[in-house]
């Protein structure tokens, strides 16, 4: 291995993190992984990672850049500052991309702690799902210093198809992602409502899906998520509970700004209801399963 090869670590090897880590390998970066799931770590090492494990104690001091792709702010803090936390083990000047979907306030607090350790931080949420992550084509909406962008450029080039440099102020990236999640969540909820109505009216859902995806009512989220409804497959790549969390962030952001969000608030209620009904760990398209009186593919209709 070349001594000047860029060393990147992905923390969180879920559906998007695994794809991002494999994209780093494909881009020629010396790639490391951190995840509590041994099977994910073994899979990444099989794909060509230098090392992977439940913590980064054995290699943290060698890293040039870190991509944090965990679920929420609590997991960010645990991975960075917990008993086996990564942050104190990193060399000053190492770049850290905080890419979980979190509030702007959490982004500022986490970045402040990292910067206090001499680290370079990007508030850098991502979008695109597992497929885009695997292709190295995620969309990154990032805020931070020029030095942080420069330090993390090889990692950004490896995982992103498009990088939007929102500004220098930490929290701007998080806010852009929250606005984006408003649309994503509402589109899934609206798609589910439309398909539920079609089911109630006796329209074959495969036919309805074909019509919408070739007409003006289509959206990326409808096309991607309602395919799962047609197939009756609610294997999670993004779960209902993810949108309970994300739409809560949306509504809390609006409350702080004293701004009404009638559609987002309704969508949040729909996802929370689906979670309470036992569908929280299913694919987010399972929000449709809370509609009564309809029969869905792969479901008993009860």
Report CA-CA distances (Å) from 284 to 9, 75, 141, 204, 217. Answer: 28, 21, 23, 21, 20
Q: Indicate the pairing of strand 51-53 with strand 30-34.
A: parallel
Residue 22 Cα to chain centre, angstroms: 16
Looking only at the bridges linking them, the beta strands covering 51-53 and 65-68 are unpaired
Handedness of CA 188, 189, 193, 194 (dihedral sign): negative
What are φ and ψ of residue 66, in 5° steps? -125, 135
Cα–Cα dist 278/260, whole Å: 29
Catalytically annotated residue among 7, 132, 162, 177: 177
Q: Are 30 and 23 in contact (CB under 8 A)?
A: no
Look at the alpha carbons of 253, 259, 260, 263 in this order and tell me if their dihedral is positive or negative: negative
The β-bridge relationship of strands 7-11 and 30-34 is parallel
Tokens for 191, please give them: 């798609």
- Annotated catalytic residue 162: no
Distance from C-alpha of 30 to C-alpha of 51, rounded to nearest angstrom: 9
Q: Are 173 and 142 in contact (CB under 8 A)?
A: yes
- CA 266, CA 278: separation in Å to the nearest integer? 19
Active-site amino acid positions: 177
């Amino acid at each position: 291995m070349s001594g000047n090869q860029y060393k990147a670590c992905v923390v969180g090897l879920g559906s998007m993190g695994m794809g991002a880590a494999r994209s780093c390998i494909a881009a020629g970066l010396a790639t490391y992984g951190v995840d509590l799931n041994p099977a994910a770590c073994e899979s990444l090492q099989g794909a060509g990672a230098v090392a992977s494990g439940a913590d980064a104690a054995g290699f943290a001091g060698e890293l040039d850049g870190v991509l944090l792709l965990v679920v929420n702010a609590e997991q960010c803090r645990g991975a960075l500052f917990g008993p086996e936390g990564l942050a104190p083990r990193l060399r000053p000047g190492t770049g850290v991309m905080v890419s979980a979907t979190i509030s702007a306030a959490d982004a500022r607090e986490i970045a402040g702690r990292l910067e206090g350790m001499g680290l370079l931080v990007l508030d850098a949420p991502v979008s695109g799902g597992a497929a885009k992550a695997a292709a190295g084509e995620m969309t990154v909406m990032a805020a931070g210093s020029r030095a942080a962008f420069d330090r993390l450029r090889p990692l950004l080039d490896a995982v992103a198809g498009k990088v939007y440099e929102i500004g220098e102020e930490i929290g701007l990236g998080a806010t852009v992602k929250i606005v984006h999640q408003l649309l994503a969540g509402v589109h899934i909820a609206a798609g589910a409502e439309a398909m539920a109505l079609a089911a109630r009216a006796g329209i074959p859902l495969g036919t309805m899906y074909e019509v919408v995806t070739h007409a003006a009512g289509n959206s990326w989220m409808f096309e991607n998520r309602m395919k799962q409804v047609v197939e009756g497959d609610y294997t999670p790549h993004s779960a209902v509970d993810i949108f309970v969390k994300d739409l809560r962030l949306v509504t809390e952001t609006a409350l702080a700004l004293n701004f009404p969000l009638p559609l987002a608030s309704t969508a949040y209620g729909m996802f929370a209801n689906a979670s309470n009904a036992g569908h929280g760990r299913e694919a987010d398209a399972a929000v449709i399963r809370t509609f009564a009186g309809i029969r869905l593919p792969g479901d008993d209709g009860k």
